[in-house]
Amino acid sequence: MLNACTSPDFAVFDVVVLASGRGSNFAALLGAQQRGELPIRIHALLSDKFAAPALDIARAAGIAAIAVTPRDFPDRAAFDRALFAQAALLQPDLIVLAGYMRMIDAAVVQAWAGKIINIHPSLLPKYPGLRTHQRALDAGDAVHGASVHFVTAQLDGGPVFAQARMPILAGDTADTLAARLLPLEHRLLAASVGLIARGRIARDGDGVTLDGVRLDAPLQLQDDATLRAVG
Ligand code: GRF
């Protein structure tokens, strides 16, 4: 089926988004889709938190909003199987973790290898996990940023294919870094999903290809919101 809002060159690419909280990255992806900038259809927003504001964003847009709580399951693996079974019903081409704040069972991740990406607020491999802005400050870094990577069983450890960079300025705090990075994250995520939906980016074992050629470094977000290889 073709998406009437976008170029007829591209078939619709079905996306499911997982988010645990605010949902601004989800909202950015949705906005890009609604403006016809991405050849995707967002099928559903899934959350591990009943009160996640991201669910309200989905409902307001008429998108399925599905919450599953870990409390209803005996362990993490059982919860992950249930959540991803919900996603599987929608037969997505891609699952996007956009502020999804839980580790995912290795077997569940493996079943979606190459079809699940995550956005993380650091220049991976620096600072996997939490408190990334403070850790960049504490390390005295001059540059900070965000990364998009294919998800593997290793926390924030799968192959990175796109990054956005920004300088750390005198007087920056974790809060100012987070605030300045967020709009870059939004553009980074939309551009990344766009490349995957257009079949240009694909996972290739422990690496990633762009137009069939193995990337030797992550693409970098440009001022015009495109992603480019920088040599
Ligand atoms: C973002 O910084 C994302 O990179 C991180 O969690 C935050 C989620 O923000 N993993 P939002 O829910 O998309 O507004």
CATH architecture, domain 13-228:
3-Layer(aba) Sandwich (3.40)
Report which ligand 1 atom has the smallest distance to the Cα of 185. 4
**Known catalytic residues?**
120
19 lines ligand 1 (CB under 6 A): yes
Amino acid residing at 115:
K
Q: What is the tens place of the pLDDT at every residue in 149-198?
A: 999 999 999 999 999 999 999 999 999 999 999 999 999 999 999 999 99
**Ligand 1 center–CA 57 separation, angstroms:** 14
Alpha carbon of 8 to ligand 1 centroid (Å): 32
The model's pLDDT over 75-103, given as tens digits with 9 standing for 90+, comes to 999 999 999 999 999 999 999 999 999 99
Q: What percent of the chain has pLDDT over 90?
A: 94
Check if 195 has its Cβ closer than 6 Å to any atom of ligand 1: no
Q: What is the mean pLDDT of the chain?
A: 95
- State the pTM of this model: 0.94
Q: Reply yes or no on whether the pLDDT at 7 is more than 80.
A: no
Q: Which atom of ligand 1 is nearest to the CA of 121?
A: 4
Gap from CA of 200 to ligand 1 centroid (Å): 25
pLDDT of res. 231: 73
pLDDT over threshold 50, residue 4? no
Q: Measured between alpha carbons, how far is residue 200 from residues 10, 21, 174 in Å?
A: 12, 30, 34
Tokens representing residue 40 in the block? 């995707």
Count of CB atoms within 10 A of residue 9's CB?
A: 8
pLDDT in tens, 93-130: 999 999 999 999 999 999 999 999 999 999 999 999 99
E runs forming strands in the chain: 13-18, 40-47, 64-67, 94-97, 116-120, 143-150, 160-167, 201-204, 207-210, 213-214, 219-221, 227-228
- Does 120 sit in the ligand 1 pocket, CB within 6 Å? yes
38, 193 in Cβ contact below 8 A? yes
**Residue pair 187/193 in contact by the 8 Å Cβ criterion:** no
What distance in Å separates the CA atoms of residue 135 and residue 127, rounded to the nearest whole number?
Answer: 7
